[in-house]
Amino acid sequence: MELKDLYSNSTSTMKSSLIRELVSSTKGIPNLISFAGGFPSPKTFPVDDLANLFKEVIIENGLDILQYGASEGDIQLKKALKHWEDNSELSDNEMLIVTGSTNGIYYFVKTFINPGDVIICEGPSFLGSLVAFEACGAEVVPVNMDEDGLIIEELENTIIRLKNEKKNIKFIYTIPDFQNPTGVTLSYSRRKKLIEVCISHNILILEDDPYGLLRYKGETIASLFDISRNEYQNKYIVTCVKSFSKILGPGLRIAYMMAHEEIINKMSSWLQKVIVSPDCVAERAVAYYINEGKLENHVKDIQEFYKPYLESMLIALEKYMPKEIRWTKPEGGIFLWLDCPEHINTDDLFEVSKNEKVTFIPGSKFYPSNYEKFNSLRLNFSFPSHEQIDEGIKRLGLLLSKQL
């Protein structure tokens, strides 16, 4: 017998993370400067605070939090989060604690997607979500962005075209703040238009917000979740997922969702079958961290920490990039996006750049199947040092110059 004859269809056709393979192809290159990562800087992790908190939390609550926990999530963490969100109208039934954003997104997909249903996303978008969507049988259709995010006219045209094709569009997946991979933020006026379009077409919105707190300049824009509730009195159209991965450390696997209570209820039923409950010790530790008032200051510290790296990156790009190259100017997050002339293929550039000891993620990896574009790339600025940013962008600028 061959095992492959036994695999489910979705397993046989499943894509693995191309990014992981790319990154591992550069492992072992000495002195490599990497802009490929998507990791927060470990220097931002509140190690000592968490070490003490975990001990405190287990001593004080061990008999409770080492036991099976509620599938809907720790009630104490929900209480702390409502306070943190400054949203007294949010009920416990409108929140779900999940083991990382990707986990929450998975339950949303399982709640709504039948094989063949359509999910519309930004083009480009976060690869991790795209492969999960496709693994669940969704057809994923991208809509172009500009410097203000998703282009609403293109979205409307896409919706109409898909509806004419009798496609079943279930939801729009968007990362409105400092988007992965572009760093672009959806403007306030587009947020409103997006909500209006979705209400009129009966299409849900999944708002993925892992970077919202990482704003280094400019004004915070209200979330789609808040706008839909406060300005449209609509409680079902937007489901929002927020994460502590970029704030306290992804190793903790704690994120939370806010949604209509019916949606929370269905996602919670899936959660029960997939993980039973989130890690109760980590949940309570995060609750303590918030309750002890540490989160607000820590977020400010992280913003101060990352801001100079974004500035270094923007300065280096200005200094070293040929004039034909354009890039986004994010006000936060950990990524920005480089657009090259059409004839440049960044999949090829990736191979060449390894020899020059600099690396990035080719833009093609951030599109759904059959929609790949090849003349752009993603740069991460949260992991390399200032010196590495300067030297790495210099190398990349030289490489690009040669190809123009």
Q: Which of 183, 278, 332, 333 is in the footprint of a second copy by CB under 8 A?
A: 278
Q: Which stretch binds a second copy (CB under 8 A): 28-36, 53-61, 318-326, 356-364?
A: 53-61
Of residues 140, 149, 155, the one with CA closest to residue 197: 155
Q: Is 113 in the site for a second copy (CB under 8 A)?
A: yes
Give the phi and the psi of residue 186 in degrees, each rounded to 5: -70, 125
Q: Give whichever of 278 and 332 is closer to a second copy, judged by the CB atom.
A: 278
Q: Is 296 in the site for a second copy (CB under 8 A)?
A: no
Please report, as residue ranges, which positions from 217 to 236 form the binding site for a second copy (by CB under 8 A).
Answer: 236
Q: Is 218 left (phi over 0), alpha (psi -120 to 50) or beta?
A: left
Shortest distance in whole angstroms from residue 264 CB to a second copy: 11
Q: Give whichever of 9 and 88 is closer to a second copy, judged by the CB atom.
A: 9
Query: How far apart, in Å, are the Cα atoms of 89 and each of 12, 80, 93?
Result: 45, 14, 11
Query: How far apart, in Å, are the Cα atoms of 164 and each of 167, 235, 361?
Result: 7, 28, 35
Q: Is 170 in the site for a second copy (CB under 8 A)?
A: yes
DSSP 172-234: EEE--SS-TTT-----HHHHHHHHHHHHHHT-EEEEEESSTT-B-SS-----HHHHHHHTT--
Q: Give whichever of 16 and 370 is closer to a second copy, judged by the CB atom.
A: 16
Q: Which of 21, 25, 55, 324 is in the footprint of a second copy by CB under 8 A?
A: 55
Q: Which stretch binds a second copy (CB under 8 A): 35-43, 79-87, 172-180, 304-312?
A: 35-43
Q: Is 27 in the site for a second copy (CB under 8 A)?
A: no
All residues at 6 or more sequence positions from 275 whose CB lies less than 8 Å from its CB, including other chains: 99, 103
Q: Is 114 in the site for a second copy (CB under 8 A)?
A: yes
Q: Is 240 in the site for a second copy (CB under 8 A)?
A: no
Q: Is 112 in the site for a second copy (CB under 8 A)?
A: yes
Three-state DSSP state, 388: helix
- What is the C-alpha separation between 371 and 364, in angstroms, rounded? 9
Q: Give whichever of 23 and 32 is closer to a second copy, judged by the CB atom.
A: 23
Please report, as residue ranges, which positions from 184 to 203 form the binding site for a second copy (by CB under 8 A).
Answer: 202
Q: Which of 251, 300, 329, 398 is in the footprint of a second copy by CB under 8 A?
A: 251
DSSP 156-188: HHHHHHHHHTT--EEEEEE--SS-TTT-----H
Structure tokens at 286: 């995060």
Of residues 276, 277, 268, 273, the one with CA closest to residue 108: 268
Please report, as residue ranges, which positions from 90 to 109 form the binding site for a second copy (by CB under 8 A).
Answer: 99-100, 102-103, 106
Q: Which of 197, 204, 325, 338 is in the footprint of a second copy by CB under 8 A?
A: 204
Shortest distance in whole angstroms from residue 129 CB to a second copy: 9
Query: How far apart, in Å, are the Cα atoms of 262 and each of 104, 115, 170, 186?
Result: 15, 22, 16, 27
Q: Is 294 in the site for a second copy (CB under 8 A)?
A: no
Q: Is 26 in the site for a second copy (CB under 8 A)?
A: no
Please report, as residue ranges, which positions from 323 to 382 form the binding site for a second copy (by CB under 8 A).
Answer: none
Q: How many residues bind a second copy (CB under 8 A)?
A: 77
Shortest distance in whole angstroms from residue 292 CB to a second copy: 16
Q: Give whichever of 9 and 355 is closer to a second copy, judged by the CB atom.
A: 9
Pairing of strands 255-258, 238-243: antiparallel
- What is the C-alpha separation between 325 and 316, in angstroms, rounded? 13
Q: Are 155 and 169 contacting, i.e. CB atoms less than 8 angstroms apart?
A: no
Q: Is 65 in the site for a second copy (CB under 8 A)?
A: yes
Q: Is 52 in the site for a second copy (CB under 8 A)?
A: yes
Q: Which stretch binds a second copy (CB under 8 A): 124-132, 159-167, 181-189, 293-301?
A: 124-132
